[in-house]
Amino acid sequence: MQPTNVSDPKYYHRVVDCQWACPAHTNVPEYIRLIAQGRYTESYLLNRETNVFPGILGRTCDRPCEPACRRSRVEGKPVAICRLKRVAADHKDEVQAMLPAVPAKKNGKRVALIGAGPSSLTVANDLMPLGYEVSLFEKHERAGGLMRVNIPSFRLPESVLDEEVGYILNMGVDARFGTPVESMRRLLTEGFDAVFVGSGAPKGKELDVPGRWDAPSQIHIGIEWLANVHFGHVESIGKRVLIIGVGNTAMDCCRTSRRLGGTDIKVVARRSRPYFKASPWELEDAEEEGVQIVENHAPKRFVTENGVLVAMEFERLEWTTDASGKQRSSVIETVAIPADAVILAIGQENAFPWIERDIGIDFDQQGMPKVDRGTMQSSRPGVFFGGDAAWGPENIIWAVAHGHEAAISIHNHCQGIPVEDRPPQGMTLASSKMGMHAWSYSNDYSPAARTSMTHAELSTRFSTLSVEVELGFDAEQTAREVERCLNCDIQTHFTANLCIECDACVDVCPVNCLTITANGDEVDLRTRLSAPAENLTQALYASAELPQTSRIMVKDEDLCLHCGLCAERCPTAAWDMRRFDLLQPYAGRPAGSARSLPLAAVSA
Amino acid sequence: MTSIAKPPVRHPGLQKNALGLTRRDYEGAMSTLCAGCGHDSVTSALITAFWEMDIPPHRAAKMSGIGCSSKTTAYFMRQSHGFNAVHGRMPSVATGANAANRSLTYVGISGDGDSLSIGLGQLCHAIRRGLRLLYVLENNGVYGLTKGQFSASADVGSTAKRGEPNLQPPIDPVLLALSLGATFVARSFSGDKDELIPILKAGLAHNGFALVDVISPCVSFNDHEGSTKSYRYTREHAEEVAPVDFIPLRREITAQSAEGTAMSVTMHDGSTVRFRRVKEGYDPTDRDAAYAYVRHAQERGEIATGLLYLDERGFEMHASNRTVSTPLVDVPFASLCPGRAALDELMEEFR
Ligand SMILES: Cc1cc2nc3c(=O)[nH]c(=O)nc-3n(C[C@H](O)[C@H](O)[C@H](O)COP(=O)(O)OP(=O)(O)OC[C@H]3O[C@@H](n4cnc5c(N)ncnc54)[C@H](O)[C@@H]3O)c2cc1C
Ligand SMILES: Cc1ncc(C[n+]2csc(CCOP(=O)(O)OP(=O)(O)O)c2C)c(N)n1
Ligand code: SF4
Ligand code: SF4
Ligand code: SF4
Ligand SMILES: [Mg+2]
């Protein structure tokens, strides 16, 4: 192998599994350490830098970071990264004064944002401090998008949403609520320098089976129904409720039904559990509330009597894998499940009836806009897409990540820089050595199991729709959970010419990460290390030739605990534990330039 | 000292030995030696050797004297028996232990100070006695624990950390053992586990006293320019004369290719020592030739390493004493100590 180039930010970034997996690349281990030190405000601001909505995401994030967390490869479940984020948000001080300032003098560029969901709000958050005049068009009366009208308030309290959306709107955004954009052509004549489409994927999918239209008042489309609940148009539902589909929307529908009078609630899925789209924790939360999950049932028809829905018929399926590895179903029997209401939660679709097809914005055959993955730009220069509007339904954190990228593009576009010119990422790497065997992080390993979230009592939970179910971590829970983090950003940094090949590091490593051996290609090296390096998604580090024997130091990053023992046992400090900080560029702010850094909070 | 104990988590892909144990089950307390001390590497090599030999930790006894080297018995096999004797007296205590319980596997860890100064007589007699013991002499040319005074293994001209040269001629434990009739004499280097581990394994299988002199640099007091026991000096001057592989009896011979093997020796228990390579003109079964070679290498400024001399029949204390095969600890008290009448009867024979 060639010696690993650790000055490329990508190498160490990849080692920080959670940060790598986070679409916005939130610096998880650093914010967890700040929480551990009780520096909640700094932790919040560090979060906000990348993910903009720490309080919201600390409750609702799809958390792609957690399945990636190294801790789960080492022992037990991943660190409760998401719920720790909420701790920072719950306990922070007043942050308004520490948010990026917005100049009174504008830069003369006007940007239109369509839809007030998280993607548009992120664009506004990034552009307002640069002096842009931002107009936000939203068909509803309030901002937040699906976060407001679809995510139920028992998961996301309105006050949390209002606060974080408020930080952005208060920057002086020209918010035009109750103003649907009905013609893109017309909007484009209004002289905006750039337009961002963050209108989401607003259409719930239909289920076209017999009887669908026989009792329309009892059959609902999930996301519409949730919005109607939010607006108070719907206040109750029948006792026996069937939810068709088993994704995130289904989970919110079943739990909301439970709060509106449903007593016998079943979520019915075509497939079996391992194939469900809902996350395991969502299923757990629903089942805790008495919702029943029915597997392997395919909807066949609605059964109505005298115009009243009484049941739904399903085909019970058995799934087998054929020779080519494809899953096939066969029908075992037809069953009818009695129902007073059915909610369809089988997915969302995009719809852009308000974008004319002859204005240079190209769409594909599925009716999706053609959007560049790197720049978020459509085929019409100056028109950008992001969030669910770009490539279909995703989640909040992806919407935020898109928003940051789109803001960079919009800034480039308005400043006459090609949108393809992406500002590079940077990094800093600083020793965390504080003394002989003292580090600036807690390097001891905690064998504690993942802290589970405390929930409100079932009895109080159903009294009002908005009683928040999750109570957040208390001080003890927080203190325990932060110690489970392995500090993967504290990198094992190697200086080959200092090594005297004493083997101390190799011998002490608890998880056999290190090997000193003759060089070879990666495939070969992976087979002759201290322990087999079979996880190909994890990098091998290879050093330059060692001075005494010309062998090389190889590290399998896979299970490293970042315990620092290699560095503590190294006589020459060839190994050092160094804190890696990924510097990300934002619109108008190259990597590493003025940040709303946690430190700002210290001096305040 | 490290700031933390070694975390208990393990690599899930760790191999298990015939007892179902991983290498980590053979570990001990965290080392308190200086970071980078050669002795820690030897500890690690011992862990591997015992693990690969499938020796149950509770059936082994770790014996030592005084010194950084002697401290290391605490750093491996926490479930084994152990005795930390006074300075240089480990061989006597080991003799007693072995006399009482011949069924344990004995490993003695000593240093060049512990063995060649205060304990020189003890070492000599243990060799003569044929004590069945793997004797690991962690040789760094200094008294590490007492801050780096020259030991009896320091070469003439080798300098101390402050620059003054050693004037007294060294005692070479390999030549000493050869001249005293040892049946297993090896030298290796803490920084070369590929060479060291098979030697340790062969030593554990040897039926008698097995001396392994391991150059084990003291990073704190003897790893400087001018030292002849530093990592760099040893790497530059070590000459692998007779590296071996050790193949225990129960392993299929076909498991490892014999190709390139210079010479095979079957041990008393049927296991095999394969000389991976033997330096031209070197015969590891010829005591005089071995002695001469090691002497000449020394004169050339080279350090001959490998299993330098092997008499596969061994020579063992219990055999020469014709002790019962049952370990004395297991012999019922009544027959072990048959009482006054039996003693009187015995005494009668000598009157
Ligand atoms: C029931 C449900 C639960 C969910 N739960 C989670 C969760 O727990 N965690 C998570 O991460 N994600 C969740 N999601 C997904 C998440 O809400 C979305 O991915 C995210 O909100 C998308 O953001 P966005 O910026 O693309 O737009 P959206 O949030 O979809 O907002 C789009 C906005 O644009 C407005 N708009 C649309 N067309 C026009 C127009 N022509 N003119 C003006 N305004 C317009 C809409 O009114 C809306 O306010 C959930 C989704 C649903 C349906
Ligand atoms: C009877 C006695 N004399 C002297 C000492 C002091 N002393 C302690 S360790 C040591 C030398 C150890 O040298 P070595 O065996 O080479 O071990 P190292 O520390 O180098 O591994 C001496 C002289 C002692 N502990 N006891
Ligand atoms: S920090 Fe060093 S000793 Fe600890 S697990 Fe990682 S490589 Fe091993
Ligand atoms: S402990 Fe340090 S000097 Fe020793 S082998 Fe490891 S990196 Fe090299
Ligand atoms: S003083 Fe020398 S021999 Fe003792 S622990 Fe330190 S390095 Fe090892
Ligand atoms: Mg010594």
User: What is the distance between the alpha carbons of residues A403 and B140, in angstroms, rounded to a whole number?
Assistant: 63
Stated as kind and residue range, the H or E segment containing B37 is: none
User: Cα-flanking dihedrals φ and ψ of residue B125, to 5°?
Assistant: -75, -30
> What CATH architecture applies to the domain A204-347?
3-Layer(bba) Sandwich (3.50)
Angle at B252 between CA B247 and CA B257, to 5 degrees: 70
C-alpha distances in Å from residue A226, one per residue of A220, A254, A305, A393, B297? 9, 10, 27, 16, 88
Would you call B35 and A512 a contact, using CB atoms and an 8 Å cutoff? no
Does the pLDDT value for residue A556 go beyond 70? Answer: yes
Distance, C-alpha B133 to centroid of its chain: 8
Residue A315: closest CA among A301, A335, A295, A329: A335
Which chain B residues have a beta carbon less than 8 Å from that of A510? 6-10, 24
Task: For chain B, give the percent of residues with pLDDT over 90.
Answer: 91
Q: Which fold has domain A98-202+350-415?
A: FAD/NAD(P)-binding domain (3.50.50)
Residue B111 Cβ inside 6 Å of ligand 5? The answer reads no
Is any Cβ of chain B less than 8 angstroms from the Cβ of A497?
A: no
Task: For chain A, give the percent of residues with pLDDT over 70.
Answer: 98
Q: Which residue intervals of A318-395 are DSSP H helices?
A: 388-391
Report if residue B2 sits inside a domain. Answer: no
pLDDT at B260: 57
Residue B218 Cβ inside 6 Å of ligand 5? The answer reads yes
What sign does the CA torsion over B297, B298, B302, B304 have? positive
Would you call A548 and B43 a contact, using CB atoms and an 8 Å cutoff? no
Tell me the average pLDDT across A15-33. Answer: 98
Distance, C-alpha A263 to centroid of its chain: 32
The token pair at B325 is 């095969």
pLDDT at B280: 84
Tell me the average pLDDT across A42-70. Answer: 97
User: What is the distance between the alpha carbons of residues B27 and B11, in angstroms, rounded to a whole number?
Assistant: 15
Angle at A94 between CA A91 and CA A98, to 5 degrees: 120
- Only one residue has tokens 């010309």, namely A550
Residue A388 Cβ inside 6 Å of ligand 1? The answer reads yes
Is any Cβ of chain A less than 8 angstroms from the Cβ of B168?
A: no
Q: What is the pLDDT of residues A202-232, one digit of tens each?
A: 889 999 999 999 999 999 999 999 999 999 9
- HSE of A588 in the Cβ direction (CA atoms, 13 Å)? 18
Report if residue B142 sits inside a domain. Answer: yes
User: Percent helix, strand, coil in chain A (nearest 5)?
Assistant: 30, 20, 45
Angle at which helices A81-91 and A40-51 cross, to 10° = 120
Give how many domains chain B has, as a whole number: 1
Q: What is the pLDDT of residues A459-478, one digit of tens each?
A: 899 988 999 999 999 999 99
CB A477 within 8 A of CB A451: yes
Does the pLDDT value for residue B251 go beyond 70? Answer: no
Tell me the average pLDDT across A67-81. Answer: 97
Would you call B4 and A563 a contact, using CB atoms and an 8 Å cutoff? yes
The token pair at B205 is 């299988």
Average pLDDT, chain A: 95
Would you call A510 and B191 a contact, using CB atoms and an 8 Å cutoff? no
Residue B2: closest CA among A504, A221, A40: A504
Would you call B41 and A549 a contact, using CB atoms and an 8 Å cutoff? no
Would you call B219 and A500 a contact, using CB atoms and an 8 Å cutoff? yes
Average pLDDT, chain B: 95
User: What is the distance between the alpha carbons of residues B89 and A232, in angstroms, rounded to a whole number?
Assistant: 89
Q: What is the pLDDT of residues B126-135, one digit of tens each?
A: 999 999 999 9
Burial label for A404, CB within 10 Å (0-12, 13-18, 19+), is buried
Residue A198 Cβ inside 6 Å of ligand 1? The answer reads yes
* Between B269 and A93, residue with greater pLDDT: A93
pLDDT at B259: 54
Is any Cβ of chain A less than 8 angstroms from the Cβ of B64?
A: no
Tell me the average pLDDT across A538-558. Answer: 98
Report if residue B5 sits inside a domain. Answer: no
Residues 6+ apart with CB under 8 A from A223: A146, A150, A202, A204, A249, A345, A348
Pocket of ligand 2 (CB under 6 A): B 66-69, 87, 111-114, 118, 138, 140, 142-146, 151
- B150 alpha carbon to ligand 6 midpoint, in Å? 8
Under DSSP, the state recorded for B142 is E
Does the pLDDT value for residue B3 go beyond 50? Answer: yes
Tell me the average pLDDT across A282-292. Answer: 95
User: What is the distance between the alpha carbons of residues A64 and A19, in angstroms, rounded to a whole number?
Assistant: 10
The token pair at B75 is 């750093």
Option in A445, A561, A570 nearest B36 (CB): A570
The token pair at B119 is 């304990």
* Nearest chain B Cα distance for residue A565, angstroms: 7
Would you call B232 and A445 a contact, using CB atoms and an 8 Å cutoff? no
Residue A552: what residue type? I
Closest residue CA from atom 1 of ligand 3: A562
Which chain A residues have a beta carbon less than 8 Å from that of B36? 500, 502, 504, 569-572
Residue A121: closest CA among A107, A132, A136: A136
Tell me the average pLDDT across B237-242. Answer: 95
| C-alpha radius of gyration, chain A, whole number | 26
- A27 alpha carbon to ligand 4 midpoint, in Å? 30
> Residue B189 maps to which CATH number?
3.40.50.970
Would you call A445 and B36 a contact, using CB atoms and an 8 Å cutoff? no
The token pair at B287 is 């005591």
Which chain A residues have a beta carbon less than 8 Å from that of B35? 504, 568-571
Would you call B11 and A512 a contact, using CB atoms and an 8 Å cutoff? yes
- A184 alpha carbon to ligand 4 midpoint, in Å? 64
Residue A82 Cβ inside 6 Å of ligand 1? The answer reads no
- Beta-bridge mates of residue A417: none
Option in B8, B36, B223 nearest A504 (CB): B36
User: What is the distance between the alpha carbons of residues B217 and A572, in angstroms, rounded to a whole number?
Assistant: 14
CB A564 within 8 A of CB A493: no
CB B127 within 8 A of CB B182: yes
- Only one residue has tokens 């400024």, namely B301
C-alpha distances in Å from residue A157, one per residue of A161, A289, A467, B286, B293? 7, 19, 8, 87, 85
C-alpha distances in Å from residue A240, one per residue of A237, A305, B312? 9, 16, 85
- Beta-bridge mates of residue A134: A111
- HSE of B103 in the Cβ direction (CA atoms, 13 Å)? 11
Residue B263 Cβ inside 6 Å of ligand 5? The answer reads no
Q: What is the pLDDT of residues B180-226, one digit of tens each?
A: 999 999 999 999 999 999 999 999 999 999 999 999 999 999 999 99
Q: How confident is the model at residue A325 (pLDDT cuts 50, 70, 90)?
A: confident
CB A285 within 8 A of CB A454: no
Would you call B6 and A568 a contact, using CB atoms and an 8 Å cutoff? no
Distance, C-alpha A568 to centroid of its chain: 36
Would you call A502 and B3 a contact, using CB atoms and an 8 Å cutoff? no
Does the pLDDT value for residue A377 go beyond 70? Answer: yes
Q: How confident is the model at residue A571 (pLDDT cuts 50, 70, 90)?
A: very high
Could you list the beta-strand ranges (E) of A253-307: 264-268, 292-294, 297-305
Does the pLDDT value for residue A121 go beyond 60? Answer: yes
Q: What is the pLDDT of residues B159-181, one digit of tens each?
A: 999 999 999 999 999 999 999 99
* Nearest chain A Cα distance for residue B215, angstroms: 12
| Structural domain harbouring B283 | 23-321
Residue B39 Cβ inside 6 Å of ligand 5? The answer reads yes
Q: How confident is the model at residue B236 (pLDDT cuts 50, 70, 90)?
A: very high
User: What is the distance between the alpha carbons of residues A461 and A463, in angstroms, rounded to a whole number?
Assistant: 6
* Nearest chain B Cα distance for residue A16, angstroms: 19
Would you call B40 and A569 a contact, using CB atoms and an 8 Å cutoff? yes
Is any Cβ of chain A less than 8 angstroms from the Cβ of B1?
A: yes
Residue A507 Cβ inside 6 Å of ligand 4? The answer reads no
Separation of first and last alpha carbons in chain A: 49
CB A36 within 8 A of CB A483: yes
Stated as kind and residue range, the H or E segment containing A318 is: strand A308-321
Closest residue CA from atom 8 of ligand 4: A499
Burial label for A178, CB within 10 Å (0-12, 13-18, 19+), is exposed
Residue B66 Cβ inside 6 Å of ligand 5? The answer reads no
User: What is the distance between the alpha carbons of residues A432 and A487, in angstroms, rounded to a whole number?
Assistant: 12
Which chain B residues have a beta carbon less than 8 Å from that of A532? 13
Q: What is the pLDDT of residues B254-308, one digit of tens each?
A: 445 455 567 899 988 889 999 988 888 899 999 999 999 999 999 999 999 999 9
- B144 alpha carbon to ligand 2 midpoint, in Å? 8
Does the pLDDT value for residue A601 go beyond 50? Answer: no
Is any Cβ of chain B less than 8 angstroms from the Cβ of A444?
A: yes
For chain A, the domains span 98-202+350-415, 204-347
ipTM of predicted complex = 0.92
Report if residue B6 sits inside a domain. Answer: no
Closest residue CA from atom 6 of ligand 4: A505
* Nearest chain A Cα distance for residue B3, angstroms: 6
Report if residue B105 sits inside a domain. Answer: yes
- In degrees to the nearest 10, what's the CA dihedral of A348, A349, A350, A352? -120
SS3 sequence, B182-218? CCEEEEEECCCHHHHHHHHHHHHHCCEEEEEEEECCC
C-beta neighbour count of A170 within 10 angstroms? 12
Q: Which of B6, B48, B235 best tests the A interface by mutation, with the highest count of A CBs <10 A?
A: B6
C-beta neighbour count of A45 within 10 angstroms? 25
Count how many pairs of residues, chain A against chain B, have C-beta atoms within 8 Å: 102
* Nearest chain A Cα distance for residue B10, angstroms: 5
* Nearest chain A Cα distance for residue B257, angstroms: 18
Does the pLDDT value for residue A94 go beyond 90? Answer: yes
Q: What is the pLDDT of residues A183-193, one digit of tens each?
A: 999 999 999 99
Report if residue B335 sits inside a domain. Answer: no
- B115 alpha carbon to ligand 2 midpoint, in Å? 10
Closest residue CA from atom 6 of ligand 3: A560
Residue B42 Cβ inside 6 Å of ligand 5? The answer reads no
Q: How confident is the model at residue A594 (pLDDT cuts 50, 70, 90)?
A: low
